């Protein structure tokens, strides 16, 4: 089974609107961390936000927030007030306590922000 599933290969959003990028994960560990990365067309991977499995509050970083639903094993990224510069690939990733060495990545979602 895939550890990280991103079911939206591509999405469009109007500038200044909010958008939600989906991510579901599969783990039997009680302790794990969830990460979101942005990859612009230039290729670099930019760390956006982190959510720990024991964190009771949803993580927020500026315009990024993580909608963490532990029982559903979902960790959706919400981008508020989209900007043209948000157009990029977005990857969800997970790290498990039982296997610190590995980060599991999803296949990504390509977000296009329309003016």
Closest to other proteins by CB, 40 or 80: 40
- Smallest distance, other proteins to C-beta of residue 16, A: 28
Distance CA 104, CA 107 (A): 10
What track of x and - describes contact with other proteins for positions 18 through 57 (by CB under 8 A)? -------------xxx-x-x----xxxxxx--x-x-----
Residues 6+ apart with CB under 8 A from 28: none
Q: Counting contacts by CB under 8 A, is residue 12 touching other proteins? A: no
Q: Which of 21, 65, 79, 95 binds other proteins (CB under 8 A)?
A: 95
Q: Counting contacts by CB under 8 A, is residue 91 touching other proteins? A: yes
Total residue count of the chain as it appears in this document: 115
Query: Is residue 49 within 8 Å of residue 1, measured between CB atoms?
Result: no
Residue 86's SS3 state is helix
Q: How far is CA 67 from CA 23, 51, 99, 102, in A?
A: 10, 9, 24, 23
- Smallest distance, other proteins to C-beta of residue 46, A: 8
Closest to other proteins by CB, 31 or 83: 31
């Amino acid at each position: 089974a895939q550890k990280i599933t991103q079911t939206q290969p591509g999405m469009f959003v109007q500038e200044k609107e909010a958008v939600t990028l989906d991510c579901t994960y599969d783990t039997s560990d009680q302790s794990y961390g969830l990460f979101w990365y942005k990859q612009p067309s230039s290729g670099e991977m930019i760390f956006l936000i982190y959510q720990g499995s024991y964190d009771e509050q949803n993580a927020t970083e500026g315009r990024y927030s993580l909608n963490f639903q532990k029982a559903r094993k979902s960790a959706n990224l919400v981008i508020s007030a989209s900007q043209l510069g948000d157009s990029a690939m977005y990857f969800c990733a997970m790290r498990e306590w039982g296997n610190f060495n590995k980060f599991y990545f999803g296949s990504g979602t390509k977000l296009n922000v329309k003016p």
